[in-house]
Homo-oligomer: A and B are copies of this chain.
């Protein structure tokens, strides 16, 4: 099966990355619709389900090594301070304390693009690392932290983006507190001309809060040296990236570092890079010659491992009388914390709807708080909330139904690149979703519901990049007994990667799932795959698995041809054997092929292939929410969400539904209750546990109906998959906000829509 190298590109982290891809010279046969496939698309139970339910799954914190010690981190109690001195002597005398590292005895390791170091003598947020202690027990390590004496010189702090942008605000990195010193600007057409030509214009400001990832599984590492080789069990979405960062920080070859992550309890983007705690643990372990385990507690999870930036978004939108959008502008600023990150949230406005004149300005602002990190659909959740809220207002001003307004402004091509989409079934999603929620039958005019408890229905549109990220590889090993290994250096956050990999291999080779073993999350044992973020995993890894499986099929036919002495074109593969197309008595089982070759195990490695040239690849969704608002208490209850998705092929209906349910529930959290609260005066976080950082529970889950309007999109990759991880959270808060407006006739323009804000809006309206 000949291969060639072609140019490719993929979208990640806000940019297109140019790359090369290795592809077969002949494309693999297009898969038909799922109903004609054997196992792909079906509801296959997770193959790692038993491990998790039985407790036999080894999560990072379950790893126990002989002679292992425990590490804890001392963090700054102040939002902005210099360290004048550290005295660790009392802590060192505590029995069981083995070693303490600080900036005084640790080499200078740059961090966050050189804006700080592993241990910095300047601390820029409550939570910034001061010291790390290794002790024979966790309790001893925790006690030791209290005995470390630090002399701080407090400095003025700023914990509010608006304040931080003022000229007299305390400066974190010596400039104007803007990341890169200036905003990000995007323009097309001429918005002044556009607004001049508009028949109706609406301008308004929306705000969203800082949200914190709070995955179930905390950040943690277990590190173990053997000579100059380091093994790290880490809770990460990015085994290869962590490997490179750790190797680079410790100045050792990447081949000396092994990262292992088999099971994960969520990440949501907070685990896409190496943590300082991992490198600290590695330094301690090297010094002590013992393995080190370091776990973050829930307070550290709320202080120091990332968050979604907040946003203040001022939008101005204008349309013609018939509803055609003519101009849109978007100005925003958001707090990214003390170190470089991005708060941009203007992509939905740039990309969802057809509009010739657009200008956006995103400001990412430093404040003395924990650094932001990508959180499930960065920017898009905030941006879609503001955009779809204000467009509902504009539609109402023009007396046009909101759904009709979306259809009126349907973008047939990518609005930024002007490239055609590989596929776009958003229209079908609108139609199906509207039908199921009862858009035309159940929805009443805004605020017209009688009684104290009012119901409403609202909608929003979702767009996200699809089709996969960085190059990915998968290795398949076929054993003599017909069982299979599938390996790829990817991750399973709880999303179901293990299972879809097995399904794809099973589909191609006809080997039953219970004879397939999947190996992921091990930089030694697996070929490279990218980080699991950006909804890229299924769309990157499954095509690589299919490619490896097709190569294996090819290898079996080639082997059978040599053994049976029949030309290859006369042979056909079907589950478990290769036979002569005309004379089925001439056949050989795959077990026999492997045995006769006396290769105990056949091996192939596949790659994910190239992204299509000059085409935009996106997933789309139309979400409809039905809510109930108690106008006396201000409480919002989400009754139902209908999620209509264009995501290319469904690989596993069960895990896809799980993803959508999870994203919707997380969207409800963002819409109604989650918020990181900082006290302005002290600069300290008030929400440091999940008692006061309010996460949604099963009690908050609505009825959810999922419709997938798409089938495989064969233009994007050989499994036809777009990706599903982030789409479900994106339109959920916006759909809820529009439903609330439809229920009570007043708009809440600030997330989370807590009862006080609802009541305030109602009051203003009286």
A interface residues with partner B (beta carbon < 8 Å): 2, 5, 7, 17-20, 50-51, 54, 56-58, 64, 66, 225-229, 240-241, 244, 247-248, 253-256, 470-471, 473, 475, 477, 479-485, 487, 489, 514-517, 519, 522, 524-525, 527-528, 530, 558-559, 562-563, 596-603, 605
Contact call B247/A481, Cβ cutoff below 8 A: yes
Which of B248, B255, B603 lies in contact with A515, CB distance below 8 A? B255
Contact call A601/B559, Cβ cutoff below 8 A: no
Give Cα A635–Cα B244 distance, bound, in whole angstroms.
62
Contact A559 to B226, CB < 8 A, known contacts A255-B479, A255-B485, A600-B528: no
Give Cα A79–Cα B20 distance, bound, in whole angstroms.
68
Give Cα A605–Cα B548 distance, bound, in whole angstroms.
13
Question: Nearest 10 pairs between A and B by C-beta?
Answer: A253-B483, A525-B525, A255-B483, A528-B601, A255-B517, A254-B479, A19-B598, A253-B515, A20-B597, A64-B66
Contact call A481/B559, Cβ cutoff below 8 A: no
Contact call A229/B517, Cβ cutoff below 8 A: yes
Across the interface, which residues of B come within 8 angstroms of A558, CB to CB? 5
**Could you tell me the distance in whole angstroms from the C-beta of A210 to the nearest C-beta in chain B?**
32
Contact call B514/A253, Cβ cutoff below 8 A: yes
Contact A559 to B5, CB < 8 A, known contacts A597-B471, A603-B605: yes
Contact call B473/A603, Cβ cutoff below 8 A: yes
Across the interface, which residues of B come within 8 angstroms of A477, CB to CB? 527-528
Give Cα A519–Cα B489 distance, bound, in whole angstroms.
16
Across the interface, which residues of B come within 8 angstroms of A19, CB to CB? 596-599
Contact call B50/A255, Cβ cutoff below 8 A: no
Give Cα A528–Cα B254 distance, bound, in whole angstroms.
24
Contact A525 to B524, CB < 8 A, known contacts A56-B226, A244-B600: yes
Across the interface, which residues of B come within 8 angstroms of A475, CB to CB? 475, 527, 603, 605
Across the interface, which residues of B come within 8 angstroms of A514, CB to CB? 253
Give Cα A190–Cα B172 distance, bound, in whole angstroms.
98
Which of B470, B479, B482, B487 lies in contact with A600, CB distance below 8 A? B470
Across the interface, which residues of B come within 8 angstroms of A519, CB to CB? 524
Contact call B20/A483, Cβ cutoff below 8 A: no
**Could you tell me the distance in whole angstroms from the C-beta of A121 to the nearest C-beta in chain B?**
29
Give A516's nearest chain B residue, CB to CB: B255
**Could you tell me the distance in whole angstroms from the C-beta of A75 to the nearest C-beta in chain B?**
30
Contact call A596/B247, Cβ cutoff below 8 A: no
**Could you tell me the distance in whole angstroms from the C-beta of A23 to the nearest C-beta in chain B?**
12
**Could you tell me the distance in whole angstroms from the C-beta of A568 to the nearest C-beta in chain B?**
10
Give A252's nearest chain B residue, CB to CB: B483
Contact call B481/A254, Cβ cutoff below 8 A: yes
Across the interface, which residues of B come within 8 angstroms of A226, CB to CB? 51, 56-58
Give Cα A659–Cα B475 distance, bound, in whole angstroms.
35
Across the interface, which residues of B come within 8 angstroms of A64, CB to CB? 66
Contact call B528/A485, Cβ cutoff below 8 A: no
Sample of 5 more A-B contacts, CB < 8 Å, known A20-B559, A470-B599, A603-B605:
A20-B563, A51-B226, A54-B227, A64-B66, A255-B516
Which of B7, B254, B482, B597 lies in contact with A483, CB distance below 8 A? B254
Contact A601 to B240, CB < 8 A, known contacts A20-B563, A50-B227: yes
